[in-house]
Amino acid sequence: MTRLHDLYHEHGQSPWLDNLRRSWITGGELARWVERGVRGITSNPTIFQKAIDGSDVYDEQFRELTRAGAPVEDAYWTMVLDDIRAALAIMRPVHDASDGVDGYVSVEVAPDLAHDLDGTVAAARRLHDEIGEPNLFVKVPATAEGVEAIRTLIAEGRSINVTLIFGLDRYAEVMEAYIAGLEAHDGDLSAVRSVASFFVSRVDTEVDRRLEAIGTEEALALRGKAAVAQAQLAYGRFLETFTGPRWQALAERGAKVQRPLWASTSTKNPAYPDTLYVDTLIGPDTVNTMPEATLEAFEDHGTLARTVDADLDAAARTLDRIREVGVDLDDVSRVLEDQGVAAFAKSFDELIASLSAKADRLR
């Protein structure tokens, strides 16, 4: 048993791996992570850009696809979905043993659909139907259009990982979309699962930048505190939302809570502890998806204690102080959402350009 096993069995938090590459699948590394306690996998366009551009593992398949006449973007999706299917097979025993709590693999809709409601719904349907596995999460960004797509997809009984959540107001909209979708679904609610991916470290990066621009002693003393405080308050809202008569009526029909998933939990500032965004956000019914370096660090020296709701009043006071010194947290969340969408689109576009150049060389 490792600290990752203890994180789940003693504290109710599922450690997931925020990375995927074909060499890990074929070389057994992914299976070894599962043995060490990893209970799910997340991916995104940036992860696949690094995996495909950063090695020659995909070259043979790409060569075959392009020679057969496949357009470059179609070839990309074929390679990605092959990796997703292989990862789903590795994670399926975890899914079955946990009665559908864990064992999920997430794949994101194309990033250019972030503000396209109809396109997002169609793409998510296509991915679910084409893969057809119960432990697949399709990732939908929590833009305004994405929130509406979530409601529609949940109402259809599709399991969704809601990604790119940066603020408390948008998180409340995401939870409402999930509950409203369940209420509109007339099938088996126990088969519908969802996580809400609340991004953490990027919040500190942006807030710290603004605090340093303000430059007062009080502002500088608040660096590195916004992200954890906001995520802890998000957990408080989660506890409030998934209780009471409205939720109880759904729970009696088999509905499961939409677990908060802490994303972007590697420490960007080297001055901060390498397990900062894990140690401070531990609690029941949560997920923390970590890159391998953060998993290694937590496995070595992470803290095992319920911390996510240890002092919600203190978390609220921290955000109040940050606002009082002049940081507009609503604007922070808007900026980070725009940056997140743009970053994934950039990775996708760069990879398609790289693959197009490679296809030309092969021809």
Catalytic hit among 139, 225, 256, 358: 139
Contacts of 147 (CB under 8 A, 6+ apart): 170, 173, 174, 177
Whole-angstrom Cα distance, residue 234 to residue 29?
Answer: 33
Burial 102-132 (b: 16+ CB within 10 A, else e): bbbbbbbbbbebbebbebbbebbeebbeebe
Nearest to 22 by CA among 64, 50, 46: 50
Whole-angstrom Cα distance, residue 177 to residue 354?
Answer: 37
- 139 classed as catalytic: yes
Instruction: Give the largest Cα separation in the chain, rounded.
Output: 63
Contacts of 266 (CB under 8 A, 6+ apart): 201, 277, 290, 291, 293, 294
**Residues 214 and 325 sit within 8 Å (Cβ to Cβ):** yes
Task: Reduce the DSSP state of residue 14 to 3 states and report it.
Answer: strand
Q: Where are the alpha helices (DSSP H) in 264-328?
A: 276-279, 292-301, 312-324
Whole-angstrom Cα distance, residue 195 to residue 198?
Answer: 9
Instruction: Provide the terminal-to-terminal Cα distance of the chain, rounded to the nearest Å.
Output: 51
| Secondary structure (DSSP) of 107-128 | EEPPGGGTT-HHHHHHHHHHHH
Q: For the beta carbon of residue 221, count every other beta carbon within 10 angstroms.
A: 12
Nearest to 186 by CA among 162, 217, 213, 154: 154
Q: Which amino acid is at 147?
A: V
Q: Annotated catalytic sites, by residue?
A: 139
